[in-house]
Amino acid sequence: MQPATEQLAMTLKSCPECFAQMPDSAAFCPGCGRSMHAESEARQRPAFTRNHLLAGCAYFTFLPALAFLLLDRYRRNPFLRFHCVQCLLLWLISLTGALLIRVLGRLLLFIPMIGPLLAVLFVTIAALGALFLWIVLVVKALQGERFALPLIGGMAEKYSRIP
């Protein structure tokens, strides 16, 4: 008969994610919470389709998004319609934000010495944030995901429903 510690050591397995030790019968990793059961269906990304490419193109200015919504054959596609509506809503919010940033930048110029530096910093941070958001939206559309933005995603979902 083997000691209990040796018997326990033989029935332990490690998590492939965080390498925590656990019994063979464990359903979840105690370290990271990952499921230890073999997934019956591997998560597969949908195949790259024409709709994904068109949804990614919708984020290049507002013109393609507007054109896709006006053309009947594209308007009936719920995936493309969602991304077009979200793009147009994002453009409206971006134009409003750009106007506010411009006004704030002008006001900051009245502060001696540090005001112009703050204005440049503020504009740079806003531009980098907009660029990052644009890249994320294009990539998510090309991957076939309906990535909804926190503030406007719900409205895009509501307005993209086909009547």
In 3D space, the residue among 104, 157, 88, 93 whose CA is nearest the CA of residue 130 turns out to be 93
Task: Name the percent of the chain in helix, strand, coil, to the closest 5.
Answer: 60, 5, 35
* Calpha distance 41→26 (Å, rounded): 20
Can you give the pTM of this predicted structure?
0.66
Asked if 32 contacts 18 with a C-beta cutoff of 8 angstroms, the reply is yes
Mean residue pLDDT across the chain: 83
Q: How many CB atoms lie within 10 A of CB 29?
A: 20
Q: How many CB atoms lie within 10 A of CB 80?
A: 25
Q: Domain-by-domain residue ranges, the chain?
A: 1-44, 50-159
Q: What is the pLDDT along the chain (163 residues), one digit of tens a residue?
A: 555 555 544 577 777 777 777 787 777 888 787 777 754 334 555 677 888 999 999 999 889 999 998 988 888 888 899 999 999 999 999 999 999 999 998 998 898 889 999 999 999 999 999 999 999 999 999 998 888 898 888 888 888 787 6
